[in-house]
Every structure is written in C-alpha cells, then in structure tokens.
Amino acid sequence: MPSASVLRLQIESALAHKIPSALTPAPKMVRPIAATGIEPLDNAMRGGLPVGAISELIGPECSGRTSVALSFLAQITVIGKVCAWVDVSNTFDPATAAAAGINLARLLWVRCGVSHPDAARARRDFVLPDRYFAPPPVKRGLHGGGFGSHPRNEVKGISDAVASLLQQETTAPRCAEPPRRTRLTQKTFEPNYPPSSTIRRQPSRSAKPWPRMEQALHVTDQLLQCGGFSAVVLDMGGMAPEFVSRVPLATWFRYRAAAERTQSSILLMTQHPCAKSSAELVLQLLPAEALCDEITVFTGIKSHVEMARQRFTQIADNILPLRKLPQSVNALSWHSRTSWTGRR
C-alpha cells in the first residue's frame, strides 16, 4: 500500500492543471510591524505595532497612552513618513510632541470642535441686507384667494376673542361674585457678574461630546480613504465610555479594511476597549507610578502594560499553524525619565 506522501503527490499531480498544490497549505505571511521606540514593549510584541491594522491603547488618564503614541509617531516621522493625530478632546500638546522627537512638519493635527478665530470673526462681521428683514406681505382670504381666513386660524382666534370679552365684563366685578385674586409676579434678581470679555473660559470636555466624536469619525474615515498616512492616531482618551461605546462596530470594521488596503497603522486611544474583534492588538495600560529618586525632585514615571489581545504573533518559520495558539497575557513595565534628570 502506498504511503501517505505518495498518495498526496499523486493527487496533487492529477489536480495540478486545476488546483495547484491542492493538499499543501500555502504559507501565510505575517503582517509587517513598526517599532514603538520603547525597547521592553517592542520585545514583548516581537518587533512593535502591526502595520495595516487597528491597535488599541486602553487605560485611565496618566497611564502612558500618549507617551506610547508619541514615541511610535517619532519613529515614523524620523524616516520621512506622514502621520495624523485626530484630537477629539483637544488635549494634544505640540511642544510635548516635538520634545518626544516628532517632526511636526510631517504631522497633521486635527482639532475637533474648535473653530478658527478668523471664521468666527467673519461670521460676526457679516451683516445681512435690510431686504431680508422686511416682513412678508399679508395674505387675505383663504390661502390668499379672498374667501376669508383659514378655519384653523379662526379657531385659534376664538379663544383670544372670548378671553377679551370676559376680561371686559370682569373689569367691574359684580356684588355676588367674589373679587378675583391677582397673582403677583415673582421678581428675579440678576447677579452682577463682570463683563464676559474679562472672563477667560476654558473649553469644557463634556460639552456636546457626541458632535465632536462624529466629526472625528468622519475625519478619520476620510484620512483612511484618501491614503498617504502611515499612522493615524484617534485620541478619544478624554471621552466618557458611554459615548465611545455608541460607535457602531461597522465603523471599526470599515477602518480595519481601509487600514489593510492602505497599509496604515491605526492607534485608538480610549479608556475602555470598543473595537472588539476589529482590533488586532489591545494593550491594557495600568495607572503609572511616580519615580522620585530624590526627595523633592520628580524624576519620571513607571508605566505598566498588559497585552490583552494579539491576534497574530511572529513565528520563526513565517507560517501560521492551522490551530489557534493559546493566548497568554504578558505584563511588563518600563521607566520614562524626565529631561532635567539626565541619563542614568
């Protein structure tokens, strides 16, 4: 009886003109990766963040999400590629980005919910002509045809006419009727605030969050459809989870397809995971710890991260097995030193 290898060779040779290598699984290439510039994190992810996929950086504020994103964009812009930062909460600081090594000339910063001062000044100086304020001509008759007013308007006028008649009769109250009590109007006192021009109001993060999120989603969609951006960061870290969870899953699926087509890396920064199965890599960042090597000097932070999800891992033979590998949670930490402490 021929062996399995001989039978396999015979079947493949018989089907060669229809299905080449019918019984031989084709090797599948793993997605390319891009380094983040943080050595412990790159070693845990076996090279860096995936290219052409969605990577989620989830965690509370001051957990190191922005530091990871800035370090990743610095590695991309230094080689001459273009990136985009969609700022939903208006928290991006260009000075911090430049200090992290990002080439600001190759970074597109999109601020959502913030109008340009020149546009606001143009709307304030624009004055409509007087003809737009002229009252419309009065239409007499039914629909302007001369057959009396509309019955609906007559019904509305009956209540006013009856009220006016009753008011005239009750001006001199009869002896048998008790006098009507007049309701006193409540007086309101306006506080004496300083002029609005002298008050500097800070933009509120919670004021109308959903319109800003819609604007950010539309902008991200256009950036991915036009292509040309090696990395797009969607910063929704300052938004409440109830607003982020309202984004439909079809949006993240469309982003994943567009990123795979244009080979662009999408970094989604939120407080809780929302992309679900559309995210290829999920990094759970824990609250960072402050480092104080000296007694009164802040010297840096210690960040902690856990790899909550990683769909594809880099294998030595560059071939994915048929069975799914067991998922393991890898936890690591790294130190970020301040600029005034120098190298240690």
- 227-268 residue pLDDT tens: 899 999 999 988 888 888 889 999 999 999 999 999 999 999
Per-residue tokens: 198: 């002298």
* Beta pairing partners, 310: 281
The per-residue pLDDT for range 53-109, each reduced to its tens digit, is 999 999 988 888 999 999 999 999 999 999 999 999 888 999 989 988 999 999 999
User: What pTM value is reported for the model?
Assistant: 0.63
Residues 314, 268, 248, 263, CA torsion sign: negative
Tell me the residue type at 336: S
Average pLDDT, the chain: 76
pLDDT of the residue at 7 = 80
Q: Give CA–CA dist 101/71, Å, rounded.
A: 8
Q: Which two tokens stand for residue 300?
A: 């840096």
Give the model confidence (pLDDT) of 105-146 as tens digits. Answer: 999 999 987 765 555 555 555 555 555 555 556 555 555 455
123 phi, psi to nearest 5 deg: -65, -35
pLDDT at 326: 56
HEC profile for the chain?
CCCHHHHHHHHHHHCCCCCCCCCCCCCCCCCCEECCCCHHHHHHCCCCEECCCEEEEECCCCCCHHHHHHHHHHHHHCCCCCEEEEECCCCCCHHHHHHCCCCHHHEEEEECCCCCHHHHHHHHHCCCCHHHHCCCCCCCCHHHCCCCCCHHHHHHHHHHHHHHHHHHHCCCCCCCCCCCCCCCCCCCCCCCCCCHHHCCCCCCCCCCHHHHHHHHHHHHHHHHHHCCCCEEEEECCCCCHHHHCCCCHHHHHHHHHHHHHHCCEEEEEECCCCCHHHEEEEEEEEEEEEECCCCCCCCEEEEEEEEEEECCCCCCCCCCCCCCCCCCCEEEEEEEECHHHCCC
Q: 2-50 pLDDT, tens per residue? A: 777 788 788 878 887 777 766 666 555 567 899 999 988 888 888 889 9
Q: What is the chain's alpha carbon radius of gyration, rounded to the nearest angstrom?
A: 33
pLDDT at residue 234 in the model: 95
- 95-101-104 Cα angle (round to 5): 60
φ, ψ of residue 289 to 5 degrees: the values are -110, 140
**Please, are residues 112 and 87 in contact by the beta-carbon 8 Å criterion?**
yes
What structural domains does the chain harbor? 34-114+206-337 (3.40.50.300)
Q: What is the pLDDT of residue 120?
A: 55
Residues 176-187: pLDDT tens digits?
556 666 666 665
In angstroms, the CA 71 to CA 78 distance is 11
* Residue 269 CB burial class (10 angstroms; 0-12, 13-18, ≥19): buried
Report the first-to-last Cα separation within the chain, whole angstroms.
70
Residue 112, number of CB atoms within 10 A of its CB: 21
